[in-house]
Structure 1
Amino acid sequence: MKVLFAVSECVPFIKSGGLADVAGTLPSELKKAGADIRVILPKYALIPEKFKKAMKKRAEFIVQVGWRRQYCGIEELKHEGITYYFIDNEYYFKRNQMYGDYDDGEKFAYFNRAVLEAMFQIEFFPDILHCHDWHAGMIPFLLRTEYNSDARCNHIKTVFTIHNLQFQGIFPPETLGDLLGLSYRYFNPEQLEFYGNINFMKAALVSSDKITTVSPTYMEEIQTPYFGEKLDGILRMRKADLKGVLNGIDNSLYDPSNDSSLEAAFTSRDLAGKQLNKMSLQCQYGLPENEQPLMAMVTRLTKQKGLDLVRGIFHEIMKTGVQMIVLGTGDIEFEQFLTQMASQYPQQCRVLIGFDESLAHRIYAGADMFLMPSKFEPCGLSQLIAMRYGTVPIVRETGGLNDTVQSYNPEDKSGSGFTFTNFNAHDMLFTIERALAIYRNNQEWNNLVQTVMELDFSWSTSAKVYQELYKDLITGSETHVC
């Protein structure tokens, strides 16, 4: 089985969010199952020099971007048993950021076309072309409309994964001809037209053979108007081809028994090291080294992540006596508010604006509770990492949070965290207070910590689901007609 991932970011080379984690860890599990899995992504200037020096040039050719003729180089790198291809074009990718440029439409129109042209240059025609999020969303559509008459391509089946439906790649209608070189006959509501514009995400939804989301609950949610971001109608229409596959984490990367970032190693059967990590974190950031519960957030500081709720009852949270440490960047309104709160509560709160991977590991390991009150959450990796490090999650029942955290029941001691349903600040406060009540019972809390550490959210289970999905597509004779 030959599989090609087309993705805009991938660890360990470049990362802005969970998309990169999936692209960097799922292929290894698929390879273990016997797939010839390869990954193609842009060669950003931001990729560390040690990786760029190890790349070898495979091909050079021209990619047509509308009327433009743009250079494309293909650099190859084998890393931990996986072959990666990097699309080299300094005009588009020699920049200080991956996204948010004025010409994102042109940049990713180029990337989508370059991925398809690269297959001919490297002579790798996959059985499955698996595209991720809007940045690769036009690939399935171009394959079906521009390349499928080629005998080398007409067997290729496409899978498209929605990592976050909120970001869709919406551009002016001129994009169709000027950048994609497509006929305007595709500018209609059944295909690419989206409220007067072109939508890369929609292109994938109408043309891919199968569509996956990163959790089962999110798959159901996005078929409703509230979560569907104006694409719920198409998603309901493609319901038979939708599948929710829960993301996983790399257990070797997040391993409290063997993590060089931590002050002390620990396991579910020996939690002494977790207490040492807590004290180290308290000491490092000037918080009193006591038994008060330490609650953490490692997050983007945005409304999606529930920062409105946190702001609404922050003073009430402080009145419970918890210590709180927040790591992240995001909207200036939340950065400023949290920084102000840290000044107001110097004995309880620390706010660290920015991101540091090693520090994130120390926070996951040192905290007692992890707060994640998202407004919506396609899957979420932070709660999975937190549980791996024995930090009990407090989450809202949405998307992947609903699939991965079961509400703790003090009667039969079942469950893996504390949850609330409504997007309501006082519901969240009540849930925090429930968690604190259990925390005060040392033995019960330690049993809960042991339970969450022993849950298995590795990629192996999810990889098996993808493998079966691929097999079903390959054995099926028909492809989806867009």
Structure 2
Amino acid sequence: TVAGILNGVDYDEWSPEKDKFIVANYSPQDLSGKAKCKQDLLAAFGVSKTDTKLPVIGIVSRFAAQKGFDLISQIMDRLAREEMIVVALGSGDKPYEEMFLRLNRQFPQKTAVKIAYDNTLAHKIEAGSDMFLMPSRYEPCGLNQIYSLKYGTVPIVRATGGLDDTIEPWDPRTGKGTGFKFTEYSGEALLLTIRQALQAFRDQNSWQTLMRNGMNKDFSWNASAKEYVRIYERVRQTRTVSAA
């Protein structure tokens, strides 16, 4: 039997209640600081004179096909025309870097990018975005979607590997779930899922339930350590029975 255990997250570093890199701290009990983080994020990326009520989708990633950027490239022109703002941080394959730079020139109030990795900006994106995009072709575990949950930044992911394991599909009828995900590896499936998230965002009461669902999840190293202990104990008991 093969068992997989998810990576743990250091919530001393990645938590909106403690984060030293963001303009305002917030918690599941008091979400008011997130709006200030959103304004600060847009200012940091030079997005001004825009409606801050528009949803912001954040991306922090290596720009590569493995991370699903080939899917993003298929739909990016249409995506830039949706009622939303895309903020991307990362570097990698030149065609994807150029894609974001071109769209930033064409839609400067809808698409912002920094070709780099900057830890402070990564924290600002997690705190200031409304949604976080990870449409990976494959992802053994992934950490950014777990950070996003803690920050109330709703993940939009492809149902593969650790992304599938950590994100529960949102069901507005029951109020359960932590994000949005799709299975088919295609630009159209990605676009449909993003549009579902944008539609859900319009109902802010329901959206805050979704945010809190994710923020209350525990993916700390304590949780991972307990899973290690549980599996070791199960193996020990199995060997004890076999020896008897």
- Name the TM-score, length of structure 2 as normaliser: 0.92
SS in 2 for 1:313: helix
Q: Which amino acid aligns with 1:258?
A: K
Q: 1:370 aligns with which of 101, 115, 132?
A: 132
The structure where helix makes up a greater share of residues is 2
Q: Partners in 1 of 2:231 and 2:155 — Cα distance?
A: 31
Which runs of structure 2 are paired with 1:356-435 in the superposition (5 Å)? 356-435=118-197
The match for 2:3 is: 243
Root-mean-square deviation (CA, aligned residues, Å) is 1.6
- Choose from 344, 357, 368 the match for 2:106: 344
1:324 and 2:86 aligned: yes
1:298–1:328 CA contact under 8 A, matched in 2: yes
Partner of 1:164: none
Q: Which residue number corresponds to residue 256 of structure 1? A: 16
User: What is the identity, as a one-letter code, of the residue corresponding to 2:21?
Assistant: S
Q: Across the two proteins, how many residue pairs are aligned to each other?
A: 236
Q: Distance in 1 between matches of 2:183 and 2:141?
A: 16
Q: Which amino acid aligns with 2:125?
A: I
Q: More strand by proportion, 1 or 2?
A: 1
Unpaired runs of at least 5, structure 1: 1-239, 478-482
* 1: CA distance, partners of 2:127 / 2:74: 27
Aligned-partner residue type, residue 265 of structure 1: N
How many angstroms apart in 1 are the aligned matches of 2:16 and 2:51?
21
Assess if the C-alpha contact under 8 Å between 1:295 and 1:324 holds in 2: yes
CA contact (8 A) 1:282 1:289 kept: no
> Quick check: 1:285 aligned with 2:51?
no
Query: Which residue type is aligned with residue 380 of structure 1?
Result: G
SS of the residue corresponding to residue 299 of structure 1 reads strand
Off by >6 Å, runs of 4+ in structure 1: none
Distance in 2, matches of 1:258 and 1:468, equals: 30
Amino acid at match of 2:127: A
Aligned-residue offset at 1:286 = 2.3
Equivalent of 2:63 in 288, 297, 301: 301
Aligned residue runs from structure 1 range 130-169, under 5 A: none
Larger Rg: 1
Q: Decide which of 186, 203, 208 is 1:446's aligned counterpart.
A: 208
**Could you tell me whether the CA contact under 8 Å between 1:438 and 1:445 is conserved in 2?**
yes
Distance 1:363 1:337 in 2: 20
Percent of aligned pairs sharing the same letter: 39
Cα distance, 1:255 vs structure 2: 1.5
Query: Which residue of the partner structure matches residue 334 of structure 1?
Result: 96
Flag structure 2 segments of 5+ consecutive residues without an equivalent.
Answer: none
Residue 455 (structure 1) aligned with residue 191 (structure 2): no
For residues 423-458 of structure 1, the C-alpha deviation after alignment (integer angstroms, 9 at most, x for no partner) is: 011111111111111101111111111111111111
How far apart in 2 are the matches of 1:283 and 1:428?
A: 28
1:413 Cα shift?
1.6
How far does the alpha carbon of each residue in 1:408-435 deviate from its partner, in whole angstroms, 9 at most, with x for none?
A: 1121121110111100111111111111
Give the conservation status (yes or no) of the 8 Å contact 2:88–2:112. yes
